Structure 1
Amino acid sequence: MFELKQLHYFLVLADELHFGRAAKRLHITQSPLSRQIQMLEHTLQFPLFKRNNRSVQLTPAGHAFRAEARQLLSLAENAVSVARRHSQGQAGRLRMGFTAGSSYRHLPRLLAYSSRELKELEIVLEEMVTVQQVEALQANQIDLGLGRQQPNQPDLDGLCIAREQLLLAVPAEHPLACKTTVALDDLRSEPIITFSPKDGFYFYALIDSIFRRHNLQPIYVQHVSQIHSMLALVSAGLGVALVPETAEALHFDGVALRHIKMPPVHADLYLVWKKSNTNPAVKTFVQLIRKRARLAPTRN
């Protein structure tokens, strides 16, 4: 079988139709050029050039082979380029788990960065709660997770990409909706809709700790796993709820969001990956997000 180098030599000679000029373009002497052309013709078992002391011309077979040779070289060069982009993480596929809450604001922002700067990178999304993401990362079922829990396992690494304060969601007709800022004591007798201790443990524990630090005994009436479900229950008048700032992006009818008068409590969002993951796109994507994503300013 012929070599790609021989195709390259052939195409240069086919352009120049002169061994001296072709050899000069190739930065070699005429002798190795002539030898490579002869080897190519021997492999093909037909002549590509008619040559004598005065001229070099393509044979009819040479003319036909010229177009195909260009295509072959182009395909080979493209194959190298594609493989190089994959090896550098600029192309390929990333499997990313994400929480429903992250999709309201932060996930679209990350995807926008990627679509602008890593156009050949395919991101396959799967919605799952944070605990499921950690399990999927450990099992190599996803490459990245976008969840609330800071990685606390030695083989996981993470980057905090957002930090939000908690807001109080109240029915639009509720007396607390008339206030700009609500005190925690105002919630002492209010029914509380909160997160599921199973599927929303991060927020459940965070919110419960707030009440405990302020010596309040919350009256939990519903436990759900998603922010939009909590807002739906709030709009139905079943209670009030503490939710992260991303809830503002939902513009839920019948719900008013109010600031809470208390020391700042932040809900963090982490991009998480397994340190031993061999997918080059993980490192490239993380570097992009580290460069582009700045922590959203918190409200005091």
Structure 2
Amino acid sequence: MELRHLRYFVAVAEEGSLTLAAEKRLHTAQPSLSRQIRDLEYEVGVPLMNRSVHGIELTPAGKVFLDHARLALAQAEAAVEAARRVAKPLKPVFAVGFLSGQEVNWLAKTTCILADELRNIAMTISSEHSPDLAQLLATGKLDIALMRAEPNWPELSYITVAREPFVVIMPSDHRLAAHASVDVRELDGELFIGGSNIAGPMRAAIENYLAANGLNIEPAHRVHNLTMAMSLIASTRAVALLPAYAENFLPWSVTSRPLTGEAPTIDLVIGYNRTNTSPTLALFLSRVDQLSP
């Protein structure tokens, strides 16, 4: 069994299709990919996938194998990254990731914590979705990330730095914009924008809040980033529930209102890999309370 077999399997499992995995992720021919998956199943000794006209579905064995395959790939990438860092011992790199959009609120505070270290390190900044940040932490490509806590990454630890309330986002001339705050029940019957599976923690928080208020709202569209959400709200005259940091990115055609009563919240956390032995990480974690408002 080779690492490429694991990469191919993970790509097919995540895309749910041999064709999509071959074209979008692996840039290879589908017949070749199919042979690689069959070779992997032969090596493992059990079927890992069921194939049908509707796509690929993992067997129970395949679901278990997927978790271990992801971990094995993450460990292999971490080993490569660690070797490269040792081979280039110039300025230590401290790599910081942000949930896209959160750098507006948190970059200055993060930099301030390390102000007396910046002459001795090379600090890099990246902006990604939370699942991508989790993978980058697990593979050693990031040292810390301000993100949502992501499941299925047992090597990561999280420290909560803020609890963000959700607000209602709507077109600026929407009827609800005349209110100082919005009762969530007013959203029933409105065209609604929901979170996608990529935005898992946000989607779960929204759905739990709606259910707790007796609402069963089926989103007309699902999004995983703020740009897409703002565009759909403005163009379709829909409404959405988004964490309050989204207010930093409102175009003129979109506005926000707080929710009436106790609004749901979602945690913003500092994520890091417990196996990371960076002295800069240890210093940052010792001062992380300075991030709190």
Fold similarity call, TM over 0.5: yes
How far apart, CA to CA, are the structure 1 residues paired with 2:248 and 2:283?
A: 29
Deviation of residue 152 (structure 1)?
7.4
Q: Give the greater-gyration-radius structure (CA).
A: 1
Deviation of residue 118 (structure 1)?
2.5
The answer to whether 1:94 aligns with 2:94 is yes
How far apart, CA to CA, are the structure 2 residues paired with 1:162 and 1:187?
A: 26
Aligned 8 A contact 1:171 1:237 in 2? no
Instruction: Mark the CA change 1:268 to 1:161 in structure 2 (over 3 Å): closer, same or farther.
Output: same
Aligned 8 A contact 1:172 1:255 in 2? yes
Partner of 1:149: 149
Partner of 2:264: 265
Partner of 2:174: 174
Instruction: Mark the CA change 1:216 to 1:243 in structure 2 (over 3 Å): closer, same or farther.
Output: same
Aligned 8 A contact 1:150 1:158 in 2? no
Deviation of residue 96 (structure 1)?
2.2
How far apart, CA to CA, are the structure 1 residues paired with 2:178 and 2:229?
A: 20
- Secondary structure of residue in 1 paired with 2:205: helix
Partner of 2:138: 138
Partner of 2:232: 233
Partner of 1:278: 277
Partner of 1:222: 221
Partner of 2:127: 127
- Code of the aligned partner of 1:231: M
Question: TM-score scaled to structure 2, two decimals?
Answer: 0.63
Instruction: Mark the CA change 1:123 to 1:247 in structure 2 (over 3 Å): closer, same or farther.
Output: same
Partner of 2:212: 213
- Code of the aligned partner of 1:149: A
Instruction: Mark the CA change 1:150 to 1:162 in structure 2 (over 3 Å): closer, same or farther.
Output: farther
Alignment of 1:29-178 (within 5 A): 92-114=92-114, 116-120=115-119, 121-149=121-149, 154-178=154-178
- Secondary structure of residue in 1 paired with 2:141: coil
How far apart, CA to CA, are the structure 2 residues paired with 1:113 and 1:128?
A: 22
- Secondary structure of residue in 2 paired with 1:104: helix
Aligned 8 A contact 1:168 1:243 in 2? yes
Deviation of residue 240 (structure 1)?
0.4
Query: Aligned-pair RMSD on alpha carbons?
Result: 2.0
Partner of 2:288: 289
How far apart, CA to CA, are the structure 2 residues paired with 1:167 and 1:140?
A: 34
- Code of the aligned partner of 2:140: N
Aligned 8 A contact 2:184 2:260 in 1? yes
- What are the ranges of 5 or more consecutive residues in structure 2 without an aligned counterpart? 1-90
Deviation of residue 268 (structure 1)?
1.1
Alignment of 1:199-210 (within 5 A): 199-210=198-209
How far apart, CA to CA, are the structure 2 residues paired with 1:200 and 1:108?
A: 25
Deviation of residue 154 (structure 1)?
4.8
The answer to whether 1:189 aligns with 2:185 is no
The CA deviation string for residues 230-256 of structure 1, in whole angstroms up to 9 with x for no partner, is 122212243001111112222421112
Which segment is superposed worse, 152-161 or 199-208? 152-161
- Secondary structure of residue in 1 paired with 2:220: strand
**Number of matched pairs:** 202
- Secondary structure of residue in 1 paired with 2:163: strand
- Secondary structure of residue in 2 paired with 1:230: helix
- Code of the aligned partner of 1:93: V
- Code of the aligned partner of 2:291: A
How far apart, CA to CA, are the structure 1 residues paired with 2:234 and 2:109?
A: 28
Question: TM-score scaled to structure 1, two decimals?
Answer: 0.62
How far apart, CA to CA, are the structure 2 residues paired with 1:226 and 1:140?
A: 24
Instruction: Mark the CA change 1:196 to 1:152 in structure 2 (over 3 Å): closer, same or farther.
Output: closer
- Secondary structure of residue in 2 paired with 1:261: coil
- What are the ranges of 5 or more consecutive residues in structure 1 without an aligned counterpart? 1-90
- Secondary structure of residue in 2 paired with 1:219: coil
Deviation of residue 127 (structure 1)?
2.3
How far apart, CA to CA, are the structure 1 residues paired with 2:139 and 2:217?
A: 38
